[in-house]
Amino acid sequence: MSKILVLEKNSFFCEFLQNLLQSRFPEIDIKIALNQEECLTAMLNFKPHILFLNVNQREGKDGLELLGKIREMDATTTIIILAEYDLSEYRKVAILEGANHFISKELCTGKEILALTKNILGMPLFSGKEANGSEHGGRATNEESLDPPLERRKKNNGGQAIKLKYLKKHSDRRNNEVTP
């Protein structure tokens, strides 16, 4: 049985992640750690295959320090960093410290998380018959419809650039209106 450990300070996101993974992979054992000490204990006793690790911790401790400790304890666990923002410098440091994947919570989707988990564990996205007796509970099972894991979506500023280019060529009509 595959095991996932989650260390996430945001209770809403933690619950979302747990429900998302449990609904698609019911055979996975998911454990939630509330702080860094629980996470380290769970790494020893629970021995997860995947660790979702929020790097911004409540205790004011740096999650990257924890990442280094975890990597020393277990080099086989796949570590997925959960970050509030997608900063390239932070991403580089996390990868250098031993993270396998980096997810920005502001840019990721549930589909990406599911696809990444599926790829890591090498499992089917849906398993067996659902509780209602119909296969997959009537949900679409086309795995190809999932976006590739962690496909980065950059904010499209093209619209703003086109607008500025247009305004350079054409003066803003509101400024040139003649009032009666």
Q: Domain locations in the chain? A: 3-173
Taking Cα atoms as reference points, which of 96, 73, 94 lies closest to residue 104? 94
Taking Cα atoms as reference points, which of 81, 72, 82 lies closest to residue 40? 72
% of the chain residues with pLDDT over 70: 65
Q: What are phi and psi of 18, to 5 degrees?
A: -65, -45
No. of helices (H) and no. of strands (E), the chain: 7, 5
Mean pLDDT of 101-114: 89
Q: What is the CATH number of domain 3-173?
A: 3.40.50.2300
Q: What are phi and psi of 101, to 5 degrees?
A: -140, 160
DSSP at 147: P
* Residue of 167 and 159 predicted with greater confidence: 167
Structure tokens at 68: 């280094």
Query: Does residue 30 register a pLDDT over 80?
Result: yes
User: Which uninterrupted H or E stretch holds 83?
Assistant: strand 78-83
Q: What are phi and psi of 61, to 5 degrees?
A: -85, 150
pTM of structure:
0.67
